[in-house]
Structure 1
Amino acid sequence: MKPQLIDINLSGRKTIQIKKLETLNLVSPFHFHNLCELVWIEKSHGKRIVGDHIDNFEDDDLVLMGPNLPHIWLNDKLFQQESAANIVKSTVIYFPADFLLNLTDEQSILNPTEDLILRSARGLRFYGETSKKIIDILSNISEKEGFKKIIHFLQAIEILSASNEYNYLASVTFKNSYDEKDTNRINTVYKFLMQNFHRDITLKEVADLCNMTTNSFCRFFKARTQKSLTQFLNELRIGHACKLLRNEENAIANVCYQCGYNNLTNFNKFFMSITGKRPSEYKKQLKAKA
């Protein structure tokens, strides 16, 4: 996968940059940069790829990523179909990894902060009370001026550093081995798969997008993503199935076909291999937690 190396224009500056987005859809390419990035999706839903991790995102998705970790957020088609008035709302904070470490020599502060930055190399999704506290801070941080903005940011980092309410995203073995020459090629593939996984997709169809033979494409895709096209597509489909199964009204058979599977046998097999549960078990557990 060829993510783009993005220049956020903070090189050499010991500062933070806060970007508040209100747009019709998320269109940034699969990319990486040399900064840490804290992302709060206030309103939107779709698919998120961080490193080699594929997942859904919804309102109040909160993720911290370390430098040079490839990522992309892409809206589901349904997001715009639900209402023409739908608007993506998001707040993103970029900051150098050493910004926090240069503020003090106090080890009681440095140690948890250094640990947070190290953990963020795989991407961290925060949830629970931690997420609520951070969202409360980020909801008005862009309106703050001067030192007040920095103080609010530091409060957020302090909370994140002390929290155990998070999940790792990218696998422990993931390494960013991407270069710049394949940017357009991999963006085209990712976006195509994320928008068309609900139907039959042939290997040749995807290889043709890259003007490659099927054999060449398979080698290219596996080398960049550390996954086969089939594995990637199944993870994308089963992730979407998990999202649909949260709605009690969605029957398992209907979910199967909405996610691109032609029969329940294959759906059950891949659901079990990826989640460790049968779809029926997954649905029962969701109901028990409700």
Structure 2
Amino acid sequence: MKPQFIGVSTPQQKNIYVKTVDKPVLNSPLHFHDLCELVWIEESYGKRIVGDSVADFKSGDLVLMGPNLPHIWHNDPVFHQSATDLRAKAVVVYFPVSFLMSLSDDDPTTLLLQNFLHQIKRGLKFQGNTRELLIDQIQQIRSTTGLKRTAIFLSMLNIMTDTCEYEFLTSNTFEASLNEIDNKRIHTLYVFLMENFSSEIFLKDVAQLVNLSPNAFCRFFKKHTRKPFSRFLNELRIAHACKLLPDKNLSIAYICYQCGYQNLTNFNKFFRLIMDCNPSTYRNRFK
């Protein structure tokens, strides 16, 4: 990927920086920075791209990303309508690697923290009781300062380094590229696809967005995202299908067309390819 470096402003060079987000829409560009970032989505939903991971996000999601991991959060189109009263609310906790590594000089703790930092290079999505415990402490940490904030963070760190209740976001082969030359093109493509995946999308039209021929575009996209354009688009569409399928009031045919597929055959084919099961089987998990 070719993301944009964004320097996170941490007042007075604090080791732990907490930002509360409350705005009509999440609109940061595809970016990376040199801090670890823990994000709790308090109220919002849409599409999230972290490294080579493409997924939907919703209220309650809790994600931790290591330094220099490209990411973008983009609300679904309904958030961009002028008449909506929807809000994007989140709490973000930033902390530098140097702060973690300065906490202790004993070998077992240093090894534990090094392993933790290695894991979060891929991004983690916390689940289960771990997610609940961390959200409770995030609600506390945003209203504290000084030693109280540090004490709560250390408690959170203890939970995060001692849990197995998470899923990795990126593939184990993903490596971020920090060259910014193609950032504008990649960002333009991501935003277009996240806002238009439910419509029929033609390769020549997407290529034209970034002033490339279809063949040149395919090479460009695969080089910078580590996956073919068709795979990326299908992952985006199937992620949206997974969000809709638990609603038993929506037929599978309806969901198929809402996700941009023109027939059930293709929908079922790509759903099985990406989720390793068919849509009906996936839906039955939510009985």
Q: Considering the TM-score relative to the shorter chain, is it more than 0.5? A: yes
Change (3 A) 1:83 1:168: farther
Partner residue, 1:142 = 142
Q: Given that residues 112 and 162 in structure 1 are in contact (C-alpha distance below 8 angstroms), is that contact kept between their aligned partners in structure 2?
A: no
Give distance in 1, aligned partners of 2:194 and 2:124: 22
Change (3 A) 1:249 1:32: same
The Cα shift of 1:9 comes to 4.0
Q: What is the correspondence of 1:234-245 to structure 2 with a 5 Å cutoff?
A: 234-245=234-245
Q: Given that residues 66 and 120 in structure 2 are in contact (C-alpha distance below 8 angstroms), is that contact kept between their aligned partners in structure 1?
A: yes
- Larger displacement relative to structure 2 (3-12 or 271-280): 3-12
The Cα shift of 1:13 comes to 4.9
Partner residue, 2:55 = 55
Give distance in 2, aligned partners of 1:274 and 1:49: 16
Partner residue, 1:247 = 247
Deviations 1:73-116 (A, max 9, x none): 11011345697222111111111112111021234433332222
Give distance in 2, aligned partners of 1:37 and 1:6: 13
Q: Given that residues 80 and 86 in structure 1 are in contact (C-alpha distance below 8 angstroms), is that contact kept between their aligned partners in structure 2?
A: no
The Cα shift of 1:151 comes to 1.1
Q: Given that residues 63 and 123 in structure 1 are in contact (C-alpha distance below 8 angstroms), is that contact kept between their aligned partners in structure 2?
A: yes
Partner residue, 1:67 = 67
The Cα shift of 1:246 comes to 1.2
Partner residue, 2:97 = 97
The Cα shift of 1:2 comes to 2.2
Q: Given that residues 261 and 267 in structure 2 are in contact (C-alpha distance below 8 angstroms), is that contact kept between their aligned partners in structure 1?
A: yes
Q: Given that residues 78 and 84 in structure 2 are in contact (C-alpha distance below 8 angstroms), is that contact kept between their aligned partners in structure 1?
A: no
Structure 1 unaligned residues grouped into runs of 5+: none
The Cα shift of 1:242 comes to 0.8
Change (3 A) 1:83 1:248: farther
Partner residue, 2:259 = 259
User: Is residue 271 of structure 2 the alignment partner of residue 277 of structure 1?
Assistant: no
Q: What is the correspondence of 1:21-170 to structure 2 with a 5 Å cutoff?
A: 21-79=21-79, 84-170=84-170
Q: Given that residues 197 and 259 in structure 1 are in contact (C-alpha distance below 8 angstroms), is that contact kept between their aligned partners in structure 2?
A: yes
Structure 2 unaligned residues grouped into runs of 5+: none
- The one-letter amino acid paired with 2:184 is N
TM-score, normalisation: structure 2: 0.95
Give distance in 2, aligned partners of 1:223 and 1:3: 13
The Cα shift of 1:11 comes to 12
- The one-letter amino acid paired with 1:117 is L
Identity level (%): 49
- Larger displacement relative to structure 2 (3-12 or 244-253): 3-12
The RMSD of aligned alpha carbons is 1.8
Other structure's SS at 2:173 match: coil
Other structure's SS at 1:139 match: helix
Partner residue, 2:193 = 193
Other structure's SS at 1:147 match: helix
- The one-letter amino acid paired with 1:168 is F
The Cα shift of 1:177 comes to 1.9
- Larger displacement relative to structure 2 (112-121 or 264-273): 112-121
Partner residue, 2:223 = 223
Q: Given that residues 2 and 224 in structure 1 are in contact (C-alpha distance below 8 angstroms), is that contact kept between their aligned partners in structure 2?
A: yes
Tell me how many residue pairs correspond in the alignment.
287
- Larger displacement relative to structure 2 (79-88 or 237-246): 79-88
Q: What is the correspondence of 1:6-21 to structure 2 with a 5 Å cutoff?
A: 6-9=6-9, 13=13, 15-21=15-21
The Cα shift of 1:212 comes to 1.4
Q: Given that residues 238 and 259 in structure 1 are in contact (C-alpha distance below 8 angstroms), is that contact kept between their aligned partners in structure 2?
A: yes
The Cα shift of 1:213 comes to 1.5
Give distance in 2, aligned partners of 1:12 and 1:104: 23
Other structure's SS at 2:254 match: helix
Give distance in 2, aligned partners of 1:209 and 1:69: 25
Give distance in 1, aligned partners of 2:262 and 2:38: 39
Give distance in 1, aligned partners of 2:231 and 2:85: 35
Q: Given that residues 122 and 168 in structure 2 are in contact (C-alpha distance below 8 angstroms), is that contact kept between their aligned partners in structure 1?
A: yes
Other structure's SS at 1:72 match: strand
